Structure 1
């Protein structure tokens, strides 16, 4: 059975006072085959990791620099995230690819840095609405996978998150048939890149306006092994509900 994963991405939200949401996880039971991760701003990672330890929930970073150290003002390296208590790191999120012009080559370097630092990499891939309407979803996602997955990746240090760009933060969710098609393609393409055994074991999660109302249906879709949760992860009760939906 594949290890499932639910990762909450707080994005640029949250200060110390918001750590109180963690208390809402009290009494939540996380099964052995589900990894739960919260990715707060880097300023909160250390405190968040200490608070979450009693709930068997892990902490992750939202991005990292591709190099270990240097004169890169304002950047945070993968090693720094690990030192602060992170176990995972998101790379290639559409808000980084589009908003910061990050190429597949740069995302690949960041993923390699995460793996080198001992972090499990959550690699995001996905098409824009224009690309989907043009029938290019497989081509775009395939290129992102081929060019963003480093040679050091395997099913133990890599998670793939499919996030159709047109569904991020919009309240729109891909149809179940669209999700199943994309995830099936990702697993097939990963088989070519990583081998059939790794592809079968790798977790492929869905990101795109996941919330307590739609999560059970999404997680019941073939080849969906969890979710990358945005806005719903900012509320402890909502995130707990999504976690519970992944256990049903």
Structure 2
């Protein structure tokens, strides 16, 4: 028994003790200034390396909705006219995944908001990537599900490394990398989130932070074929603030450059890098025009069917810019 507990506890080694109040006090409510980060040197050859892959738009519903409101949202999505050349994914709260899967058009795939680092077992409240074990305590709407369970209920993707998992729950880079590696090994696609907090941007550490988080994925995963990188500056998540198109492009270009230099030119070209952080129907078109922005991970605006459709269809701005 002692050895089993020791083995199981080892899987939690990437969880830091974290205070939600302290973490969220670091958000941008008291900050009005955006400070430009250090601009890394980018080789001219990378300019032509922007991804030519299919546009990708994900909707992260987080801990929002009721059966009634989600029924309405799904109905709106089913009625929406979406551009054909966009991969569209939504991540409902876990308790509504089955409802959404059974009523949503096959045009839109289902993602989970989190998964566990390995196979299921003696982890009360955690969920494997085959069946669900419900947790008695909900923390910001994010639970652990095993990859096998998520596949069993029809999920094709999982969101990992979201800032709320990092800064509220306390997951570290290496733990997130292990979760990504296991999800990929079991056939799920991974939306791999990275992003800096406001104080890190103000200190000129945007690229250092993002590269460190990206390296943890690179160290853990054998292939990038089913990985979408989501750059989400923490100071722009749920705040109404958004990076300017130029700020977002600067980071996306640097991330692609890092992939080229640290992984391979092929991975840099083929891997989609999407932007998240207060994306809405008003700003999506200008963001979509940016060379290295391959789509979006959308929060609040994804809860409004017509607005989410507008964001999906912003791919037309990408075509015009090209």
Pick the TM interval, shorter chain: over 0.9
Which whole-Å CA distance do the structure 1 matches of 2:229 and 2:262 have between them? 13
1:212 is matched with 281
Is 1:151–2:221 an aligned residue pair?
yes
TM-score (norm 2): 0.73
Which whole-Å CA distance do the structure 2 matches of 1:151 and 1:59 have between them? 22
- Quick check: 1:6–1:36 contact (8 Å CA) kept in 2? yes
Structure 1 segments of 4+ aligned residues over 6 angstroms from their partners: none
Q: 1:161-202 deviations in whole A, cap 9, x for unaligned?
A: 000010010000011221111000111111234311121011
Q: Would you say how many aligned residue pairs link Structure 1 and Structure 2?
A: 245
2:34 is matched with none
Which whole-Å CA distance do the structure 2 matches of 1:224 and 1:121 have between them? 17
TM-score (norm 1): 0.95
Which whole-Å CA distance do the structure 2 matches of 1:30 and 1:216 have between them? 14
Q: How does 1:177-192 map to 2 (within 5 A)?
A: 177-192=246-261
Quote how far apart the aligned CAs of 1:27 are: 4.5
1:53 is matched with 105
Which whole-Å CA distance do the structure 1 matches of 2:298 and 2:226 have between them? 20
Select which of 28, 31, 34 maps to 2:81: 28
Counterpart secondary structure, 1:46? helix
Unmatched tracts of structure 1, length 5 or more: none
Counterpart secondary structure, 2:209? helix
Unmatched tracts of structure 2, length 5 or more: 1-51, 127-144, 318-322
- Which has the greater radius of gyration? 2
- Quick check: 2:80–2:306 contact (8 Å CA) kept in 1? no
Q: How does 1:74-93 map to 2 (within 5 A)?
A: 74-75=125-126, 76-93=145-162
Q: How does 1:198-237 map to 2 (within 5 A)?
A: 198-237=267-306
RMSD: 1.3
